[in-house]
Amino acid sequence: MIGNFVGGDFLLSNSENLARVTNPATGEELDQVVLSTAEETAQAIEVAHQAFQTWSKVTPLNRSRILFRFKALVEENLDTLATLITVEHGKVFSDAKGELIRGLEVVEFACGIPHLQKGEHSRDVGSRIDSHSMMMPLGVCAGITPFNFPAMVPMWMFPLALATGNTFVLKPSEKNPTLSLKLAQLLQQAGLPEGVFNVVQGDKESVDEILFHPLVQAVSFVGSTPIAEYVYSTGSHYGKRVQALGGAKNHMVIMPDADLDQVTNALMGAAYGSAGERCMAISVAVVVGDETADQVVNKLSAALDKLNVGPGYDEQPENDMGPLVTGEHRDRVASYIQSGVEEGAHLIIDGRDHPLAYTSNGFFLGGTLFDQVTSDMKIYKEEIFGPVLCVVRVSSLQEAIDLVNAHEFGNGTSIFTRDGACSREYTDQIQVGMVGVNIPIPVPMAFHCFGGWKRSLFGPLHMHGPDGVRFFTRMKTVTTRWPDAGRVAADFVMPTMK
């Protein structure tokens, strides 16, 4: 049974609410996770609140030293952690290692907190009056994270929360809960005091307790748009600071002058890597001109014939794409493929026909490719979150821009072109939070901010980078005067700095 980590101890919930944890490559049940009650979630929050009283007084330099040791421990255990991700999630081993490395980049950024949390100072804002700002910790912060990145997404959140002096309660996905406990164990080994980082396994009951509990000051969330909107509206209603990242429908615009071999390789990785279970996956290729579109579809068809699909832990050679996370999610993706056929899209490659799809105990689909997709189709409008790529044909760059801007999501996008003026026009006009030029998945480095626009993000502050520091701190401004001598007379008018 998989349980919680609270106050430095592994605790098993008393709840009778259980969820299966399976190996997506085999369908085998690995374990069961006990989903905590609201009372047990509240207990973890209260433990974190008590720990905040002392942790918030630890100097930023000493907090960063613990994170330095945590980083080293994760690197020492990289293969073990990556194997755990592969077994519970299904992604290939190299992708699991890549996820951990990208998460560690945020840890590295957070280690610079003595500089990042300095605040500002102004001398002589008035006669012998100085002002300075202090970036103060909030208290108990919580993270609610999805199944697709069990390491990276939590590491977008808790390193900065801990570095800035907050305590943290993590509610990971019940589909792959074990990695969160391993991270908690490594934090403790690095010297993090008991109660500063806690893990609560749970479902909506735990989420609601986090959103309702008065001691929780901030909530960071990544998941689907309907849940993100619920988390944002509910948490905000209860006076919490909330950043909630939702869904995506990421477009890659392909101009006629682009290097189409480069485009093909980029699309294969961006659309089918991690079985498309990424919020930054490219799921729509917007091709300018029918001649270019024909070439792109032909090259993708040939590349898909060579796509190696299988268990994520095969080593010789490693597969390109593993299974989807559950059988239910595989069936959901398959239903989208059927919807595309029924709505009149041209199905070039059907992932349901892959030899492993529905013939093994694993949750496999092959890569799927649609052509002649239009903006009124369900497979275009909705986030599929699977290995399905839609090709939409347009006649001009402006038509491509208008198409992307009309979509409800604005998470990530890219353009492939050799034309600098075309690139500048696209990056200026596009209403999307993260933009790549000849880069298919434009995920920013940790010292920049991650986040989309429109219905891909609820809340004003993005993940990591400077916004991450701002999210986990509140500003306090101190104005000071030290008069030379004598008493200062009472002043009954609005004070001004003359």
Active-site residues, by number, are 279
Q: Coil, helix or strand for 50?
A: helix
Contact 440, 282 (CB under 8 A): yes
End-to-end CA distance of the chain: 68
Q: For residues 264 and 271, what is the distance between their CA atoms, to the nearest angstrom?
A: 10
Residue with structure tokens 């969820």?
Answer: 19
Structure token pair of residue 187 = 């934090």
DSSP 66-95: HHHHHHHHHHHTHHHHHHHHHHHH---HHH
Host H or E run for residue 480: strand 473-481
DSSP 8-state assignment for residue 148: S
Q: Phi and psi of 434, rounded to 5°?
A: -130, 125
Report the chain's C-alpha Rg in angstroms. 25
Report the alpha-carbon angle 44-50-54, nearest 5: 135
Q: Phi and psi of 57, rounded to 5°?
A: -95, -5
Structure token pair of residue 445 = 């480095």
